[in-house]
Structure 1
């Protein structure tokens, strides 16, 4: 998920997504990178356009064409691109950007995708083989590794220095867990849906039980979208899976460690046969790197519910802008609605009991 809510207007957002043809991609690869594609195939994306490209010269790449609105944020994307490289240098499996023939890591291209000429930011990223964690058997051990990786990632990002780091503040960025209250402007999208009352209740709990405690949270830089489609895995030697890729840094923002954990738990629930059991091993993995404070533990349940609210509401909003992309936009929402309701009905005390007892047991076995 990208900066969907930093659009100028709904109409601008509606026509911001690029739609290049394969011939345009081929021309761009030759002109910008002196590479001749032997294979090009489209990859799914929320509001950008991604292509897998295998050139005759060798190697495998992802050509990423940013949507026209986000392409205006050159300095922000520069920070995101640098962060990927910084994680890669520090031992985490993130993509890195390939330089153009002029030595730049990105190029602003003026293209006509059927809505008149617009400028789109283009990057060629290394291709990471693997399958999304959404398609792998999500064992407790893999969930533990996911929590551990998320914590290590935020720990490393906190050490990063860059002249434009302040741009990650993103005060009105609606995907930030600091900005859950901004969802109130979109609650009407659930008019007539019984889930609307649950959404309103969660936002109220966020206001009353999370916001007053936020000053006690430990600050960091969040990846912000550590979801089941942005984490790649490969089979390991012990018949399990290991994490081999972290994708999509478009939602990076200045936040708090507990936000990343809440986001990770929420998305790892989506494909799990028993979603409530996800929290324990993810928390255990996280705490093997960054033990939680009592205040962070106290707010985790509401923050997980709050991320569900963001995902469900903003997917519904995005469908109004891109009805033709409904299938991809609603991936998390279909199962998410059921899990969200289940979490809410079980209640904070019961869910926390499952999560923290399981986390303690998992840690004891390590």
Structure 2
């Protein structure tokens, strides 16, 4: 089911113009719109909205056809964002239409495709800059602290709408085999297949020993907002991948992005992980499997970027992390998992010793 839905997302991405979005937002949300700018997105269409009244900014999300069919999941995103804000983490908040609804519908009639209906949400906008690739180690530690804080806050958040079969959930790594054919370069195909085999051999036998929790599932360098001077982490955006799954997946996903394009990837991993385990320490079994799960996400990113680009060669955003991700996966394939586990365990142990001495 997860792989079938992923394929449907590619053909049910919204086809909407900037002018349509402008008119729709003005009509449904009662805003006087000054500017509309399209933002990067994967399966949805995201637009920055700037109002005429005071220049307030918002993000308009026009959802793909698959997610538009799952209304409870969209409401669950809103509920999670409200929960995190109540716990002190800055993130977008849902705005209501003039009718008082958090969700509305864009209906289109497209020649040869018939009638299409897409869910639309308007979210508050966090002022600042996207973090992007950084070598500033004080920020890397702050990134880890952000992920740990989010994970800790979500451990008492319960929402059944997050119990879903989702390809980007690392639990489903073995389902990536269906998409491996999109990876044509032999060396990439080999290391991606190896990551899947490692998951099946090493991770799956321990699935009952891992803590489960709702997680963000995509805290990467493009979803973290920092201040204009790149001195402080302000918040997190893009809750479209949230899911109930293994808790350790959240930091595994974050680590894989922050080791990309680094002179010393292991040093970067340690910096992020140091911030994380200050807030949310991992169990021994989670530490043991963490390197394998990092490789799973790197493989998933590479495989699905290849598949998605094959379906839509005009979407250059799909390749944003593809090549750095392949290089990071190759780097990981040259190192024994035990070496990485020992390094991260040493970081966590030093944090625990420091706490004990306080």
Which of 162, 168, 175 is the equivalent residue of 1:168?
A: 162
Aligned pairs for 1:170-185 within 5 A: 170-171=164-165, 173-185=166-178
What SS class does the counterpart of residue 324 from structure 1 fall into? coil
Q: Give the Å deviation of 1:200.
A: 1.9
Residue 118 (structure 1) aligned with residue 108 (structure 2): no
Q: Give the Å deviation of 1:362.
A: 7.3
Residue 345 (structure 1) aligned with residue 334 (structure 2): yes
Q: Give the Å deviation of 1:231.
A: 0.8
8 A Cα contact 1:280 1:359, kept in partner: no
Q: Please, which moves more after superposition, 115-124 or 216-225? A: 115-124
8 A Cα contact 1:4 1:47, kept in partner: no
Distance 1:6 1:357 in 2: 41
Which of 28, 37, 47 is the equivalent residue of 1:32?
A: 28
Residue aligning to 1:60: 57
Residue aligning to 1:81: 78
- Output the TM-score relative to the length of structure 1: 0.90
Distance 1:363 1:244 in 2: 26
8 A Cα contact 1:315 1:333, kept in partner: yes
Residue aligning to 2:90: 93
Q: Give the Å deviation of 1:22.
A: 2.3
Aligned pairs for 1:208-219 within 5 A: 208-219=201-212
How big is each residue's C-alpha offset from its partner over 1:175-207, in whole Å with a ceiling of 9 and x where there is no partner?
A: 001111111212222355122222222212211
What SS class does the counterpart of residue 110 from structure 1 fall into? strand
Distance 2:195 2:218 in 1: 20
Residue aligning to 1:261: 251
Distance 1:314 1:142 in 2: 29
Residue aligning to 1:144: 141
Which of 219, 225, 240 is the equivalent residue of 1:226?
A: 219
8 A Cα contact 1:128 1:245, kept in partner: yes
The 3 A distance-change label for structure 1 pair 271 and 35 is: farther
Q: Please, which moves more after superposition, 81-90 or 173-182? A: 81-90
Distance 2:4 2:259 in 1: 27
Distance 1:204 1:254 in 2: 23
8 A Cα contact 1:130 1:245, kept in partner: no
CA RMSD of aligned residues (A): 2.2
Aligned pairs for 1:128-139 within 5 A: 128-135=126-133, 137-139=134-136
8 A Cα contact 1:38 1:54, kept in partner: yes
Aligned pairs for 1:192-341 within 5 A: 192-235=185-228, 241-325=231-315, 327-341=316-330
8 A Cα contact 1:277 1:354, kept in partner: no
8 A Cα contact 1:284 1:363, kept in partner: no
What SS class does the counterpart of residue 54 from structure 1 fall into? strand
Q: Give the Å deviation of 1:138.
A: 3.4
How big is each residue's C-alpha offset from its partner over 1:201-221, in whole Å with a ceiling of 9 and x where there is no partner?
A: 221221121111121111111
8 A Cα contact 1:110 1:118, kept in partner: yes
Distance 1:278 1:332 in 2: 17
What SS class does the counterpart of residue 203 from structure 1 fall into? helix
8 A Cα contact 1:87 1:156, kept in partner: yes
What SS class does the counterpart of residue 108 from structure 1 fall into? strand
How big is each residue's C-alpha offset from its partner over 1:249-285, in whole Å with a ceiling of 9 and x where there is no partner?
A: 1111111221111011011122433322221122211
Q: Give the Å deviation of 1:46.
A: 0.8
Q: Give the Å deviation of 1:224.
A: 0.6
8 A Cα contact 2:129 2:228, kept in partner: no
The 3 A distance-change label for structure 1 pair 359 and 113 is: farther
Q: Give the Å deviation of 1:113.
A: 5.8
